[in-house]
Amino acid sequence: MADPSSYRPKPGQIPDSPGVYKFRDEHRRVIYVGKAKNLRQRLANYFQDLAGLHPRTRTMVTTAASVEWTVVSTEVEALQLEYSWIKEFDPRFNVKYRDDKSYPYLAVTLNEEFPRVQVMRGAKKKGVRYFGPYGHAWAIRETVDLMLRVFPVRTCSAGVFKNAERTGRPCLLGYIGKCSAPCVGRVTPEEHRDLAEDFCDFMAGRTGTYIRRLEKDMMQAAEEMEYERAARLRDDAEALKRAMEKSAVVLADATDADLIAVAEDELEAAVQIFHVRGGRVRGQRGWVTDKVEAVDTAGLVEHALQQLYGEEAGDSVPKEVLVPALPEDPDAVSEWLAGRRGSQVSLRIPQRGDKKDLMGTVQRNAQQALGLHKTKRASDLTTRSRALEEIAEALGLGTAPLRVECFDISHLQGDDVVASMVVFEDGLARKSEYRRFQIKGFEGQDDVRSMHEVIGRRFRRYLQEKERTGEWEETPAPTGPVPAPAELAPGGSVPGGPGTDGPASGEPAPGAVVSGAPDPALVREEPREDDGRPKRFAYPPQLVVVDGGQPQVAAAKRALDELGIDDIAVCGLAKRLEEVWLPDDDDPVVLPRSSEGLYLLQRIRDEAHRFAITYQRAKRAKRIRSSPLDDVPGLGETRKQALIKHFGSVKKLRQATIEEICGVPGIGRRTAESVAAAFAAAAPAAPAVNTATGEIIEEDDGGSRT
């Protein structure tokens, strides 16, 4: 536990202008991000007597090891930068709302030639118009089914659409009049897009125009004695009215507004949002958060606004936002919202009338959501704490292992040997820090030797990170060769993101000041390599779990000993009897079958096994799909496909002469010679046989056997 006075900035060093500040821990991870109108006054509050601080604030400042700040011009810039950093660094002490589920949206893909109406979840895509969110996907499908009578927009998948184009026959919806069948040319692309835009206008709340138009056409058809057409128009109008009735009018004057309510206690808070468009509730969603920082209702509202509108723009931000309490600086937040929308946004507390009554409904929903969440989560929090305590007691650890890493080896009869590393923090999976390894130190099947290699590589990289950041003064001489960075394949990481070695993108804005800097004038400097995001293998666990028994545990312990690491516990979980093995112990530790600690170890081990076997299968599939063409230098995917298409199969390409290969457009003689040489060097594989029928399976167009 750090003493805040050890990293407290010197008097007068902190500017009294607006800005954003970051607290970092001893590993340079960002653990808290905040903003302030006056940085000097705000940061001074963190360095008062610990007894006077809120318990959560006290925990944060004693976990931190340094504080930095960035000066900005306006409070709106501070709000935007705070949101960006919270999203980028994911600080553990900041309020972070999490959805209890992925809400479905009604989406219209206006970015396609023939827009499609469908249910979508997850991140929003550019060029797609969204409506909602809805509580259930079936509610979207019921609404769409009613509206397709009037707006027969395409709803089929790309595969169904292309098949209809190829065969010249529309799907069932095309035959019953619920699709305009653009796949077979019944309407032009422009006519179909007009239908999709009319659909969007109706969903956006402009309903009266279409109903009045249908009723006018109905009356005209009746006067002209076209009674069948009049009846169809009557049914269309009734369908639109039924679709509108699914969302009753709650606010007059076709109001567009979002209503946000908060229910909270000492530990958690729930937020409910009602999206009102055209006076009707068009969507509802809810979030829940642990109050890991000392924050009041106004602060919770501000965090909710940041998360709700941080990625939105245009009409997705309504003209009016109603909240139970105004943020600390409502003018700055309103200006930020107006910038997202492109026009004025009203942020206020409803005082009377229908809006106040509706806010009461939203508040009741928030209270119910918090009660339901606590009913579901209370046992989970208690269970996880008990499980970690049981593991610590069974293994003789001084404290509960808050970070656990588990390793597993996977292969298929000695081929494609790989390993996985999964990470659990506070009893929950942290998938962003999962890692994958290829075993390259030797050939063949040897789980014990593979485990030794993987543990050695993982913690050798940990020591290298400590040495690079200055946390390690004397690096012990590692035994064995140091693997190249290319040997390590991060699981699910992207270049420049968590788990990569190169410079990371999205660096903090210029203007950061590191506390204790000798020259306060150098306020535009900040080390780029210490950006606060998770580094590859940079943070040590309290416990290493290996999938296996005594031999695997001994190999893991030997790898740590060779690196001079003696402060990390090691254990193994054997599958046969679910026994827990410790280094240098001849007898295993047997946890009761009802033990929460054993159940947590099993979940961690099973997750490591799942991650390893998924990687191994992917490598095997890639190897099976490979062909000699992959080894031809300078031959890209386009020219590979051209060769296969020209000859019809890899088998026929192998039998072709150099002159015949030169006849393929885009293939010169040098490339043709390289292709022929690659096939000549590749030993012919034994023919594959279907064990059920006994027939020989020929190679397909992609170079693999089918």
C-alpha distances (whole Å) from 460 to each of 422, 457, 597 are: 17, 5, 29
Per-residue pLDDT at 545:
92
C-alpha distances (whole Å) from 618 to each of 114, 423, 488, 669 are: 35, 21, 16, 35
Closest C-alpha to 260, from 312, 311, 306, 205: 306
Q: What element of type H or E holds 357?
A: helix 353-395
Distance CA 542, CA 488 (A): 22
**Three-class secondary structure assignment of 378-441:** HHHHHHHHHHHHHHHHHHCCCCCCCEEEEEEEEEECCEEEEEEEEEEECCEECHHHCEEEECCC
Burial class of residue 228 (count of CB atoms within 10 Å of its CB; 0-12, 13-18, 19+): exposed
In a 13 Å sphere around the CA of 649, the CA atoms on its Cβ side amount to: 9
Closest C-alpha to 77, from 459, 365, 509, 378: 509
Taking residues 123-146, what's their average pLDDT? 75
Closest C-alpha to 523, from 81, 21, 77: 21
Residue range 379-388, pLDDT digits in tens: 566 778 888 8
Lowest-confidence region among 89-98, 179-188, 530-539, 661-670? 530-539
Strands (E), 563-648: 569-573, 580-581
Lowest-confidence region among 232-241, 530-539, 688-697? 688-697
Lowest-confidence region among 175-184, 478-487, 577-586? 478-487
Is the pLDDT higher at 488 or at 327? Answer: 327
Q: Check: CB of residue 65 under 8 Å from CB of residue 127.
A: no
Residue range 237-283, pLDDT digits in tens: 777 776 665 555 556 666 788 899 998 877 778 888 888 877 777 77
Distance CA 513, CA 524 (A): 7
Residue range 55-66, pLDDT digits in tens: 778 888 888 888
Burial class of residue 312 (count of CB atoms within 10 Å of its CB; 0-12, 13-18, 19+): middle
Per-residue pLDDT at 543:
92
**In which band, very low, low, confident or very high, does the pLDDT at 504 lie, cut at 50, 70 and 90?**
very low
Q: Given strand 30-36, what is the order of strands in its sheet? A: 30-36, 19-24, 66-71, 512-514
Distance CA 35, CA 22 (A): 9
Residue range 521-549, pLDDT digits in tens: 323 223 334 555 556 666 788 899 998 88
Helix 297-309 and helix 75-89: axis angle, to 10°? 80
Q: What is the DSSP string of 611-626?
A: HHHHHHHHHHHHHHH-
Asked if pLDDT for residue 516 goes beyond 60, the answer is: no
